[in-house]
Amino acid sequence: MAIRIKTAKEISVLQECGKRLAAILKALQEKARPGTATGEIDLLAQNLIRDAGGIAVFRGYRVEDSPPYPASICTSINDEVVHGIPRPDTYLREGDILAIDIGMAWPRESAKEFPSYQGRPLVTDTAVSFSIGNSTRESDRLLRGTKEALWEGIDEVKSGKRVGDLSARIQKKLTEYGFGIVKGLAGHGVGYELHEDPLIPNYGKAGTGPLLKTGMVLAIEPMATLGKGDVRLDRDGWTFQTIDGSASAHFEHTVVLTPNGTLVLTMI
- Binding residues for a divalent metal cation, as ranges, are 101, 125, 188, 221, 252
> Do residues 92 and 32 make contact, with C-beta atoms less than 8 angstroms apart?
yes
**How many other C-beta atoms lie within 10 A of the C-beta of residue 23?**
13
Look at residues 219, 227, 222, 226 and name the one whose alpha carbon lies nearest to residue 250: 222
CA dist., res. 208 & res. 243, Å (int): 30
Look at residues 66, 92, 89 and name the one whose alpha carbon lies nearest to residue 239: 66
List residues forming the annotated binding site for substrate: 83, 195
Residue 242 sits at φ, ψ, to 5 deg, of: -70, 140
Query: Judging by DSSP bridges, how do beta strands 187-189 and 231-233 pair with one another?
Result: unpaired
List residues forming the annotated binding site: 83, 101, 125, 188, 195, 221, 252
